[in-house]
Structure formats: structure tokens, C-alpha cells
Amino acid sequence: MTTPAPPRVRRTAGRPGRLVVDAPVVPAWVKRWCDRSGRTVTARFADPATEAATEAATVASVAGDSVLIPRAEPPRSAHPRVVAVVRSLPDDARVLLDALDAAAHLNGVLVVLHGVPLSFGERSIGRAEAVDRGHHLLREARALVEGADTGVAVEVALVRAWPHEIVGERLDADLLVLGGPRAGSRDRLGLVARSAARHAPCAVLLAPRPAFPTARVPDGLQKRGVDDESHTAAR
């Protein structure tokens, strides 16, 4: 019996919403990106090294906005690395759409990462299943961004590490995109987002997530088939 291929998701309408920058002014590279994509952007200052920045990001993200915590300017190279860290779909579809929007208008390369720890405990129960789910997730993620027909170069990789370890000082990225708190939640940022906000060596973009886990693809996306082998992953 042939296993059906995972759904391919195609972006057919809409664009990412407002971008809130936690800085006194919007950096020039962010303004160029938003001008090119037609995205609304506003600045709101908070020191990214303090807890206040984390709280400010939480408030804006819960309100449905994407939040950028800037660092240094992206390199002047032709293709900056925009890295999206995803943990589930379609909950993290907005993460991919935000990352794709940035990569397309910064003339960058999009790298999609998913983390699976090397071990879950003494016997590593469930490790093989988690790896399989990770590969499936990356196939869906590649299908979503390639289905948007933007011409952005896409790489995907399964990283054998805890997700909060992926977003630390050794991350090779010019812009990191990941999910913030759920819409309407009063919770603070999770461990992964908090680690990124404090320790990532690059600008961090927190994309809003739906109020509850959902099995429905967001409005403006449609599915189509995808070749089961059209992906790459690093162990």
C-alpha cells in the first residue's frame, strides 16, 4: 500500500500583518524590507537585553502583531540567511510566512529548522518517532514556502538538539524567525523564544501563533500534493 504524500500548501492571498520593532527607530534594513513588501511597521523601544523587552514582545505578539528584536545590520552579502524554527504545522504557518516575506524582500536564503533532542531519557523512548515526525514536518514546511512561488532558495534541516539550544550564540543566521505566545494568552514567552530574545547573535522576529492548536490551514492558504522525496534533512 502506498503512503499518501503530505499535503502541499500554497500561499494564494494576503501578506504578513503589522511588524512592531523593539527599538527607538526602525532600522534602515527593516524599513526597506517592509517598504518592498507593503508591510506596516512601527517602532516601540525596549532594551533587548532586559526582561522588559521580553514582556513588550509578549504583549505585541499576543495582540496579533509580529515583533522584531533588532541586533546588528544584516551583512551586505547578496543572500542573507533567514532562519525559521518550527515545531508544528499549521500552528507555525505564520512563522514560515513571516520568514518567507523577509527572505523574499531581503534577497535572502530561507533555512527551515526543526529540533529533535538526541535523547529523551535513559532509554530514549519515542526518539525514532520524533525523528520521523520531524522529517514529515519539514516536508510540509518546504511545500508551503516553495508553493508560494517567490523564487526564494529554501533549505530544511532536522537538527539533533533541544529547540532552545538551536537559537543560541552559535546560530548561523542573519534573521531568526520563530513563534511567540498564543493569541490572547497572558503567559510569558516560552523557553525557546526567551532564549532567542536574549542569546541569539542576530535579529529575532517573533511571529504570533493562533489562540489554540489548530488542524486547519490559515485563511489565504490552499493545499496541493507534493513529492514525498522533495526535501533534505541533516541528522
State the CATH number of the domain containing residue 97: 3.40.50.620
231 in a domain, yes or no?
A: no
- Of 15-29, 179-193, 210-224, give the lowest mean pLDDT range: 210-224
163 in a domain, yes or no?
A: yes
**Mean local confidence (pLDDT), 85-92:** 91
Say whether pLDDT at 81 is over 90. Answer: yes
Number of domains within the chain: 1
Mean pLDDT, all residues of the chain: 76
CA pair distance 189, 209, nearest whole angstrom? 12
On whether the CB atoms of residues 100 and 153 are closer than 8 A, the answer is: no
54 in a domain, yes or no?
A: yes
47 in a domain, yes or no?
A: yes
pTM reported for the whole predicted model: 0.78
Q: Whole domain around residue 163: which residue ranges?
A: 7-225
Spatial CB neighbours of 219, under 8 Å, sequence gap ≥ 6: 13, 14
- Of 6-10, 125-129, 162-166, 221-225, give the lowest mean pLDDT range: 6-10
On whether the CB atoms of residues 197 and 65 are closer than 8 A, the answer is: no
Say whether pLDDT at 85 is over 90. Answer: yes
1 in a domain, yes or no?
A: no
CA pair distance 222, 224, nearest whole angstrom? 7
215 in a domain, yes or no?
A: yes
Q: What is the pLDDT, as a whole number, of residue 194?
A: 84
3-state SS class at 192: helix
233 in a domain, yes or no?
A: no
In this structure, the dihedral spanned by the alpha carbons of residues 150, 168, 182 and 60, taken in order and rounded to 10 degrees, is: -80
61 in a domain, yes or no?
A: yes
Which residue, 233, 230, 226, is CA-closest to 6? 226
C-alpha 40: how far from its chain's center? 19
**Is residue 190 packed enough to be buried (19+ CB in 10 Å), middle (13-18) or exposed (0-12)?**
middle
Say whether pLDDT at 47 is over 70. Answer: no
Max mean pLDDT among 44-58, 91-105, 116-130, 190-204 falls in 91-105
3-state SS class at 90: coil
Q: Which one-letter DSSP state was computed for residue 87? A: S
User: What pairing do the DSSP bridges indicate for beta strands 203-209 and 66-69?
Assistant: antiparallel
